[in-house]
Structure 1
Amino acid sequence: MKNYIILFIFLTLCIGHLYAQSPSRLMRTHEKGDFTKTRELIVKSLEKDSINPAAKYLYSILFMVDPFKQDTDSARWFINAAISDFEAVGPDVVEDLHKSGITKDSLNNQKLVVTTDAFARAKAQSTVHALDYFLQYYPEAPQTERAIFIRDSLAYDEAKDVNTWQSYKAYLETYPDSYYYRDADKHYQRLIFLDRTLDDKLSSYIRFLKEFPQTPHRDEIEWVILTRTTVDHKWESYLSFLRNYPQTHYRKLVTDVMYYIDKINGYPRYTEFLGLINREDSVNQVKTSEYHLLIPFYVDGKYGFMSSKGETILENQFESIDENYYCGGITAEWLLIGSGDASRIITRSGDELLRQIQGFEDLGNGFTLVDFGKGKYLYHKSGFRVNERIYQDAEVVGGKFIKVRKEDDWGLLSALGQPILEEKYESIESIGKFILVNENGQYHATNIKKLAEEIKDLNIEFGTSFEDFEVLGDTLLLTFNGDKEALYDENLSLIIPEDDHRIFTYGASWYVKGSEGYQIYNRNSDELINQTFEHLDVNNGWISIKREADWLLVSQGYKVLPRQGLDSIRLINDHAAFIKKGDTLQLMFNSGRVEWIQPDEKLILLTSRESTDPGKPEYIMLFNNKYRKVLSSEGQILFDGDYDQVDFLTDSLFTYKSKGKFGIINAKGKTVVSAKYESINEKDDLILLLEKGKIGSYNPTTGGLIAPAYDSRITSFANYFSIVKDGKYGLINSQNKTVIPFEYDEFMMWNDTSFLVRDSSVWTLMTFDNEVIETGFMNPTLIAERGMEKFIKVMKGQSFGILSNKQGLILEPTYNDIVNVGIYKEPTFFAEQHLKAAAFFVVTYFDRLGQSLRSQAYRPEEYSKIYCDQ
């Protein structure tokens, strides 16, 4: 057909502008259905006149009907040419054409027939190529928009069949105006994101975000980066994320977490924190509200909360509150309001966080486990849910992680809910620098640093397993497998390989006892490392080593030069070691002093038998049958003499025995108490003396001595001494003079000038000059202490009051009951008076100074809704 068109064009150009056949004849012949004759006339007409609307119009028609149907493309060419010629001919020709029924409308109708047929053919083929061909060669067709839609749809189906980001990218580049552009772009963005991060490594997510900063998956990627770079739950890690992604969708969540980290640490970075947020006023308000101790009040059937100063924090607006709040002293950040399934959680500012809950458990470190009845969910105190999983239990581990329990197994989460260990372990615990995991009776070890690094690529690995363990000094892990032991440092680097040996530590050194002897690790001396010794003894001051030919003594602090060539060594304590070489016996001190020991001398340590303080004084005594010599820890001679016995008494005092009697001597050898007592003992900083069955005392602070004259133990009481005589208490002074007569059943210290005494069931407040201040009290009960100030609840008759050792009687005993609804260190008093005649309970709240904060009258049924039954 294309050859025919070319031939026609050639003939047209050659013939010129002749117009031989009239339109009417052509139309009549065509209307008779003589298509062969029509074609002959058309060809002749075109040969004579190239500008020939009628001939070209009819030729277009012939190409669309049988039996001359040749090609729709040819029909398109001729109708377009006919329309062009129609525009080119003069008025006379147009008039003849109109007479023959050839008008602009008939030409356009034919064109529509042609394009409709072409579109139908392309649509029937249902290929992108067919539709592209139609659009290329029929650009003016009214079906163009529909053809484009079908073409784009077919191309989109092809891209979906391939379903790679490359196929969608090609589609987007080829069809930028497609109806399916958004869907294709959505698939492209998702698939290229998945492909580029297929390895699930943190570096891949970071790299992808740099390459595609406008990705619709930015929030998802930022979340991965955030949760994997902040597993260590450090302020600096969250700050680094904000600096790298300042416009992040999670900025508020991150700053909320940072606020709680700073809060737990005492707000050391609060000013810096305020520079990270745009809500300084509201955060300051929250911070201020946290300092308030909340106390409930009940007015007009509604609960509210006030501070310990009486300031209203939350107006009375709540129908019910947790009954545990009735006793006040509320320091919690979240408040449980309502009851049953209607319970809800609000903040101290009154903002509702959660509703339809049954309760919550504060886990500490800013985390809470909330019970919704159907299950428990983890929440951060700022209000966001950590994840969407239900747990039976949860605990904070190491201040960084949350261990969670499902059924009987434990798993581990980061603070932002990033799963670290799945729920399949019998136990997970944090000890020192280590996190120990028990799986089927075998332990694995990891640490915060290791987990934070491995979670970046979700590649948590345990390097070893063991049956049992011991954490030494927070930074060393000693593992046990049967009879085998190994030692790891805080980075879980192997220090001592696993073997059948015993490992023990002192200071910065580790020691191993194996079948062939002892070895030392982490010493600076090459002489010791990688050697095996027959015997070894060690403490914080010394190492004694049995070598093949001799003994070696080494000072741990290198304060004295090593001593070698010795016959034997015995470590006395951290300060001194006994050494023997031939007939020479010596005490070697870490101070460098040396004390020579005679063959008949024996050695014992003098120290407190009760104290467990590692820094407690220790003295060495050398003695024989004739004398005793006491040395300090530096090796200095403190005193010596022909004592029968010397024993440790206090840090600076010793008892000595001479001629069967005991006395006291100080560290300078000066006699403090002569030797005339049957026994001497120290109790509560007072030294008790026994002589002829009577008890006396010596005060080492004042030097006061009370001669033995009493049957019971003497105790210090302010600047005096409490004595029991004939079953009654009294006070004496350091001169053994009676200050308070022996008439009372009990004493209670109160302040510098007064004290409480009990006579039978009645208590009296009196001065040390035996003057009565108040009397008639019963059942004094300590209910608060603020620094040095004490508050006791006292009863007089059937009424209660409050007595302070600083202020005196701050609440007169006129109340039916008094309860501390503050806290023990910051009291607020709930005082109730029952007006029986009016059937009212009048409740007044008082601060620690006795100032009234709030007063309210209640009917009995109302009073039960606010009364604290402690």
Structure 2
Amino acid sequence: MRKRLPFFACALVLLLSLQGYSQLAPERLAWNNLGKENWNKTEMQVKKALRKDSLNLGAIYTYAWFYFTAANPKFNIDSASLLAHKAQQHFSSFTKKDKEKNLRFPFDSLGLQKLRTYIDSTAFNRAKQLNSVEAYSYFINNYASSSQLSRAIELQEEVAFLDALKENTYQSFQAYINTYPQSSRAEEASKRYEKLLFESKTKDQKLNSYVHFLEEYPQTPFKKLVEQQIFEMSTASGEVKALQEFLKINPSSAYAKQARDFLYYFLKDQPFQLKTLLTDSLANVLALEGQTWIPFWKNGTYSFLDMKGGEHLSNLTDSLDADILCDGFIGDILLTKNKLWSRAGFLLAENVADFEDIGFGFLLVDYASGGTKIIHKSGLICLDEEAKLVGHHFLFSKNDGASLYTLTGRKLLSGNWSEVISFGDVIAFKDSQGFKLVSAANLGLHANAQPILYTNYFDEVKSIDEKYIWVKKGDQTGLLDLNLQFVLPLTQQHIEKAGNTILIKSNKQIKTFAKGKAGEPYDDLQLTESWMLGKHLGQYHLTSRSNNKSTTMDSAYLLSFAAIGYRNDSTFVFVNTSRHYFSGLLEVTLLKNANVSYVMVSDQNNKIVVNENGEKLFSVQADNLECVSADYFTYQKRDKRILINKKGLIVPLPDFDAFGSATTLGIPVLANKKFGLINRKNDRIIKPTYNRNLNAYNDKLIVAYKNDAYGFIGWDDKPIGKFEYDEIQYWNDSVALVKHNFSWRFLDLSSFNFRLGKISEFVSFKNASEEHFLIYKQDNFYGVLSNRRGVILEPTYTSIENLGNSEQPFYMTDKYVEEAEIHIVIYYNQTGKQVRRQIYEEDEFEYILCK
């Protein structure tokens, strides 16, 4: 305040110089006493003047200085401010005459403004000294016209921010943002608020906290991090159902794609479930899989061609392995020039030395610079170390100790395990004490800080089928279900799988185990695919495994697809759902050859034959009935071999020694070192008079050999055409491929004239529907033929290769133009449609050749 006294002193001198002008008024006396620091008289005289005239400007002005004088015990900045403001307001409303009158008092508008300025500055300094939100708030509210107002606001915001920092809670920053939304610190406060809010609401790092946080604050800047936590924790078990549930609840999550990518590779063999997952990108991956792509050379690099002429992985590399050049690109991952590419053209990794597909969409990638990573085929880097896949649930690493990770690389736990094994959705940990089991679902919950519920230790564990786990402790064994509950308690018993049935052997008894329950005890038990036969207390219990119907026999045995029983001097033959009854205790045996089996019931000389469907075919008087094929049987009668069909009818046949392997059309027969043939459709017989085996070409023609050459005969054993061929191969029913005079020709079987020209060499193949293809050479040029479509490619090419397979041929043809030293390479699909044409110089052509 002392810096303001010179002005006050000057004003006092001016007042004293005017004393002779008139008798002093109370306000002038007050001003005089103020200069003398006579505080009581000053205040008394000011109040006297104001009682007389409440608008006495001199009195108000003096009163303002009274409160603004630092030595005054009643010094009060706020009172001084109110009075100075009042004086300024009154002065501004005065007329010119009033202002001139008041000029006799030591102030004018400039003086009043200066007073206000001094008071505001002092009040501002007071607020700065207190340096609190309240102090600045008081100044802002009471000194709104001060030139320091904006600075006071800035300082108030800064102090409030520092206060929020000291408290450092999301509530403190939320309050700051609400109170000071325009502050320069608002953005920083907002960031701190969001971070502290996130940390506070999710401090327990539990799944529910993250879920509730995202529900309550969907616009949080930590949304992706929260979504990541939700994804990793809710799918930590690696179970299909966990991933499906995540997608159902979080369809728009940033990690929904990764969930779909995982599921795609889990469910590739289950099209119905896969269908619901397919986005456009996954549908594209699925569409590309399994195709063979052919490499071609263009502008100094390789690209790939699909069977429809589409171009893929364009200009990817300038070198390819020999197996890809020879067989095409068949897989879904390509390693070239130390880069790992997906079939969809996504670069998965660089600087790669080698990789291994470890299943379910995961790759073990070794880097040329050292180190190994687990990478998913979708591009996700799952783990920065070597690991093996445990089922499709977890990653097990022995890098610096044994650790188990989720598929996303989140560490679940560590231990001293030598091995971690998957039994479906059950995981076994092996250490020095043995094996302990836990469900994958429970392990997944450990990511959410839930305890792990291990079983007790076992000495041995193995999966006995998809529903149960066999365990052994000491000399006791038992069965656990997939919930790790005992369905067969540990005891001294032997548990084994016979076909699709679990057997329990203990105390010299055998039981079956199915649907979580053990069956009746038997002293002995036999099983086939169709029947179960148990013996107990001298009786045999026969059960059909198709309908679970049972019957009791005095004795019984199983015979391939049949069950044979005896009761009350009667014989029963059970086949499929049929039951055949025979009087007497008869012998029942299996009658079979390499391709078919029948049941044969022997009643003395009478043989009854039953097929696999339970149908009784025929009965015949025979000593030694044999099965020749599915539809022919033979037996000996009076030193003569008799042939009968499956209706039991005799097929007239001269003496024969043996039968050959049946084909669709016929059965070869041999007699006296000569060959004949039986027509399987109508029992017609070609007598055994030929030196080589007869081969039925079609319903009408038979390939036969005589006079040192091949030709055709009919089923009437009469020649059709000449016997003049070195070899005959089937082409179709109307044309045969024959070798004649050292060349191959197509023979028209209606006119027995040759078609096309001579073929010097060929390569043949056929597909599953028995369509035959021929890449053949004629007059030094190559073409392609089909036995159903005819000419696919005319013989005009220097070479032809099938770069596809027998089911989907894809032809690369080459026309070499010697004059220009160029190769015109044209690619054709299986129908002969051109899909690409490329011209290569001689040195370029080398790049696409299989070496």
Task: Indicate the TM-score class for this superposition, using the shorter chain for normalisation.
Answer: 0.7 to 0.9
Matched position secondary structure for 1:831: strand
Structure 1 residue 603 corresponds to structure 2 residue 577: no
Tell me which of 84, 94, 98 is aligned to 1:82: 84
Give the Å deviation of 1:780: 1.3
CA contact (8 A) 1:777 1:794 kept: yes
The CA deviation string for residues 333-367 of structure 1, in whole angstroms up to 9 with x for no partner, is 8999xx7479988958xxx8789676999999888
CA contact (8 A) 2:674 2:691 kept: yes
Matched position secondary structure for 1:43: helix
CA distance in 2 between partners of 1:287 and 1:521 (Å): 41
CA RMSD between the two structures: 5.5
Matched position secondary structure for 1:645: coil
Tell me which of 753, 762, 767 is aligned to 1:780: 762
Which residue identity is paired with 1:604?
T
Could you say if the C-alpha distance between residues 520 and 819 of structure 1 is closer, same or farther in structure 2, counting changes exceeding 3 Å? Answer: closer
Match of 1:832 in 2: 814
Match of 2:626 in 1: 647
Structure 1 residue 514 corresponds to structure 2 residue 506: yes
Could you say if the C-alpha distance between residues 571 and 371 of structure 1 is closer, same or farther in structure 2, counting changes exceeding 3 Å? Answer: closer
How high is the sequence identity, in percent, across the aligned residues?
A: 23
The CA deviation string for residues 116-144 of structure 1, in whole angstroms up to 9 with x for no partner, is 44444443444445545555655555444
Could you say if the C-alpha distance between residues 481 and 722 of structure 1 is closer, same or farther in structure 2, counting changes exceeding 3 Å? Answer: farther
Match of 1:687 in 2: 667
Could you say if the C-alpha distance between residues 297 and 533 of structure 1 is closer, same or farther in structure 2, counting changes exceeding 3 Å? Answer: closer
CA contact (8 A) 2:30 2:43 kept: no
Mapping 1:476-495, distance limit 5 Å: 476-479=468-471, 484-488=476-480, 494-495=486-487
Structure 1 residue 469 corresponds to structure 2 residue 462: yes
Give the Å deviation of 1:781: 1.5
CA distance in 2 between partners of 1:538 and 1:342 (Å): 55
CA distance in 1 between partners of 2:302 and 2:614 (Å): 71
CA distance in 1 between partners of 2:824 and 2:684 (Å): 54
Match of 2:5 in 1: none
CA distance in 1 between partners of 2:232 and 2:499 (Å): 38
Give the Å deviation of 1:735: 4.1
Match of 1:703 in 2: 683
CA distance in 2 between partners of 1:767 and 1:250 (Å): 66
Match of 1:622 in 2: 602
**TM-score scaled to structure 1, two decimals?**
0.73
**TM-score scaled to structure 2, two decimals?**
0.74
CA distance in 1 between partners of 2:351 and 2:829 (Å): 34
Matched position secondary structure for 2:128: helix
CA distance in 1 between partners of 2:451 and 2:697 (Å): 62
The CA deviation string for residues 616-656 of structure 1, in whole angstroms up to 9 with x for no partner, is 754143365x5544445687764445523223443444332
Tell me which of 791, 804, 827 is aligned to 2:773: 791
CA distance in 2 between partners of 1:699 and 1:263 (Å): 47
Matched position secondary structure for 2:220: coil
The CA deviation string for residues 66-103 of structure 1, in whole angstroms up to 9 with x for no partner, is 654766xx122123213313433666775576555434
Structure 1 residue 503 corresponds to structure 2 residue 482: no
CA distance in 2 between partners of 1:839 and 1:498 (Å): 81
Match of 1:48 in 2: 48
Could you say if the C-alpha distance between residues 737 and 294 of structure 1 is closer, same or farther in structure 2, counting changes exceeding 3 Å? Answer: same
Mapping 1:284-303, distance limit 5 Å: none
Match of 1:806 in 2: 788
Give the Å deviation of 1:210: 3.3
CA contact (8 A) 1:589 1:633 kept: no
How many residues are aligned here?
807
Q: Runs of 5+ in structure 1 lacking a partner?
A: 1-18
CA distance in 2 between partners of 1:386 and 1:28 (Å): 89
CA distance in 2 between partners of 1:86 and 1:789 (Å): 113
Match of 1:13 in 2: none
Could you say if the C-alpha distance between residues 112 and 323 of structure 1 is closer, same or farther in structure 2, counting changes exceeding 3 Å? Answer: farther
The CA deviation string for residues 589-631 of structure 1, in whole angstroms up to 9 with x for no partner, is 37574635646x44322345x56xxxx754143365x554444
Tell me which of 824, 844, 848 is aligned to 1:862: 844
Give the Å deviation of 1:694: 3.9
Give the Å deviation of 1:251: 7.8
Match of 1:217 in 2: 222
Could you say if the C-alpha distance between residues 559 and 88 of structure 1 is closer, same or farther in structure 2, counting changes exceeding 3 Å? Answer: closer
Match of 2:572 in 1: 587
Matched position secondary structure for 2:788: coil
Deviates more, 1:503-512 or 1:775-784: 503-512
CA contact (8 A) 1:436 1:443 kept: no
Tell me which of 799, 815, 822 is aligned to 1:817: 799
Mapping 1:629-778, distance limit 5 Å: 629-631=608-610, 638-659=617-638, 662-672=641-651, 676-684=655-663, 686-710=666-690, 713-719=693-699, 720-722=701-703, 732-737=713-718, 746-758=727-739, 762-768=743-749, 770-774=752-756, 776-778=758-760
CA contact (8 A) 1:426 1:440 kept: yes
Matched position secondary structure for 1:42: helix
Could you say if the C-alpha distance between residues 386 and 736 of structure 1 is closer, same or farther in structure 2, counting changes exceeding 3 Å? Answer: same
CA distance in 1 between partners of 2:501 and 2:261 (Å): 44
Structure 1 residue 189 corresponds to structure 2 residue 194: yes
CA contact (8 A) 1:728 1:745 kept: yes
Which residue identity is paired with 1:589?
F
CA contact (8 A) 2:169 2:196 kept: yes
CA distance in 2 between partners of 1:773 and 1:623 (Å): 60
The CA deviation string for residues 539-568 of structure 1, in whole angstroms up to 9 with x for no partner, is 4554444445755444545675643xx655
CA distance in 2 between partners of 1:212 and 1:191 (Å): 13
The CA deviation string for residues 263-294 of structure 1, in whole angstroms up to 9 with x for no partner, is 98779998x999x99xxxx9999999999986
Could you say if the C-alpha distance between residues 42 and 772 of structure 1 is closer, same or farther in structure 2, counting changes exceeding 3 Å? Answer: same
CA distance in 2 between partners of 1:484 and 1:150 (Å): 81
CA contact (8 A) 1:766 1:774 kept: no
Could you say if the C-alpha distance between residues 844 and 69 of structure 1 is closer, same or farther in structure 2, counting changes exceeding 3 Å? Answer: same
CA contact (8 A) 1:694 1:710 kept: yes
Which residue identity is paired with 1:44?
M
Could you say if the C-alpha distance between residues 497 and 316 of structure 1 is closer, same or farther in structure 2, counting changes exceeding 3 Å? Answer: closer
Which residue identity is paired with 1:802?
V
Matched position secondary structure for 1:682: coil
Which residue identity is paired with 1:87?
Q
Could you say if the C-alpha distance between residues 97 and 797 of structure 1 is closer, same or farther in structure 2, counting changes exceeding 3 Å? Answer: same
Which residue identity is paired with 2:763?
T
Could you say if the C-alpha distance between residues 632 and 757 of structure 1 is closer, same or farther in structure 2, counting changes exceeding 3 Å? Answer: closer
Could you say if the C-alpha distance between residues 620 and 391 of structure 1 is closer, same or farther in structure 2, counting changes exceeding 3 Å? Answer: farther
Could you say if the C-alpha distance between residues 692 and 252 of structure 1 is closer, same or farther in structure 2, counting changes exceeding 3 Å? Answer: closer
Which residue identity is paired with 1:496?
L
Could you say if the C-alpha distance between residues 690 and 508 of structure 1 is closer, same or farther in structure 2, counting changes exceeding 3 Å? Answer: closer
Give the Å deviation of 1:211: 3.1
CA distance in 2 between partners of 1:517 and 1:199 (Å): 56
CA distance in 1 between partners of 2:520 and 2:306 (Å): 69
CA contact (8 A) 2:478 2:489 kept: yes
Q: Runs of 5+ in structure 2 lacking a partner?
A: 1-22
Which residue identity is paired with 2:572?
L
Could you say if the C-alpha distance between residues 501 and 360 of structure 1 is closer, same or farther in structure 2, counting changes exceeding 3 Å? Answer: closer
Mapping 1:172-187, distance limit 5 Å: 172-173=177-178, 175=180, 178-187=183-192
Give the Å deviation of 1:860: 1.7
Which residue identity is paired with 1:46?
V
Deviates more, 1:87-96 or 1:511-520: 87-96
Mapping 1:214-613, distance limit 5 Å: 214-225=219-230, 237=244, 241=248, 308=307, 340=337, 378=375, 385-387=379-381, 389-390=383-384, 417=408, 450=441, 457=448, 464=455, 467-472=460-465, 474-479=466-471, 484-488=476-480, 494-504=486-496, 510-515=502-507, 517-522=509-514, 532-547=521-536, 552-556=541-545, 562-563=551-552, 568-573=555-560, 575-579=562-566, 584=569, 586-587=571-572, 589=574, 591=577, 593=579, 595-596=581-582, 598=584, 601-608=586-593, 610=594
